[in-house]
């Protein structure tokens, strides 16, 4: 692999070379230093090779030598994509966030589908049952943002329902229980931002889930609010 890009850099008529890996910067293609180098990464999930992949409206993160970046921006615009410049020092964080929002989401959904075995459903049956809810949730987040999109018992401080959930939670694997508790605590923070629950209800929720010691719940739930912070990556 290392000799092929080097030969390409020396003989190609292209003004530079690029790679489509999400994380490495220009050093990730060291064999092609003979030409201007840039990386281009589509923020898209392509789970299986197919010839009809549609990239219109897809953000493409670009970083590298200015000449190569200009060429890649033009190519992205030609196919209807959205070129976004990512500073080299921010690429690891950029790629991590992409993994959280895409790869981790797949694992999270798998946890939910597998939990439906308690209903007598296989993963595919569970997917058919819950996918309309999942799609609606994503659409709400896209249209309203996470704070306003949150629904459910945590968002309204429904302690009675949450008690029933804690009983059902005992039937699930330990890693799923931990994951739910972490995300329920995060949901309580969102509900506090939306002012749909009081700090007292948020603290009761955290105590019920065993997420935090009682004396620290309220203060911890108020921390970690990143609303209003300006992005240094896309600004």
106 and 122 housed in the same domain: yes
pLDDT digits (tens, 9 = 90+) for 38-93: 899 999 998 888 778 889 999 999 999 999 999 999 999 999 999 999 999 999 99
75 and 124 housed in the same domain: no
19 and 86 housed in the same domain: yes
pLDDT digits (tens, 9 = 90+) for 110-141: 999 999 999 999 999 999 999 999 999 999 99
pLDDT for position 48: 82
113 and 89 housed in the same domain: no
pLDDT at 165 over 90: yes
The total domain count for the chain is 3
Indicate whether 175 belongs to any domain. Answer: yes
For residue 191, the enclosing domain spans 150-223
78 and 60 housed in the same domain: yes
Whole-angstrom Cα distance, residue 32 to residue 38? 10
Indicate whether 234 belongs to any domain. Answer: no
Indicate whether 144 belongs to any domain. Answer: no
pLDDT band at 143 (very low <50, low <70, confident <90, very high): very high
pLDDT for position 123: 94
Q: Which of 9-18, 31-40, 171-180 has the highest mean pLDDT?
A: 171-180
**What is the arrangement of strands in the sheet containing 17-19, beginning at the earlier edge strand?**
17-19, 37-42, 59-64, 82-85
């Amino acid at each position: 692999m290392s000799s092929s890009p080097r030969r390409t850099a020396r003989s190609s008529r292209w003004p530079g070379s690029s790679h489509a890996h999400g994380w490495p910067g220009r050093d990730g293609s060291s064999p092609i230093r003979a030409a201007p180098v840039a990386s281009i990464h589509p923020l898209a999930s392509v789970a299986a090779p197919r010839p009809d992949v549609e990239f219109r409206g897809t953000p493409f993160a670009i970083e590298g030598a200015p000449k190569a970046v200009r060429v890649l921006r033009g190519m992205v615009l030609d196919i209807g994509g959205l070129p976004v410049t990512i500073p080299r020092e921010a690429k690891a964080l950029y790629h991590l966030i992409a993994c959280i929002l895409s790869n981790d989401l797949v694992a999270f959904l798998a946890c939910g589908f597998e939990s439906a075995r308690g209903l007598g459903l296989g993963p595919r049956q569970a997917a058919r049952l819950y996918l309309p809810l999942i799609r609606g949730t994503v659409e709400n987040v896209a249209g309203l943002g996470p704070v306003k999109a949150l629904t459910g018992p945590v968002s309204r401080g429904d302690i009675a329902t949450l008690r029933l959930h804690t009983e059902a939670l005992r039937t699930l694997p330990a890693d799923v229980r931990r994951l739910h508790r972490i995300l329920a605590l995060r949901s309580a923070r969102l509900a506090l931002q939306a002012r749909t629950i009081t700090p007292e209800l948020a603290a009761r929720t955290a105590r019920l889930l065993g997420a935090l010691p009682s004396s620290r719940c309220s203060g911890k739930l108020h921390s970690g609010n990143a609303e209003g912070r300006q992005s240094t990556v896309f600004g």
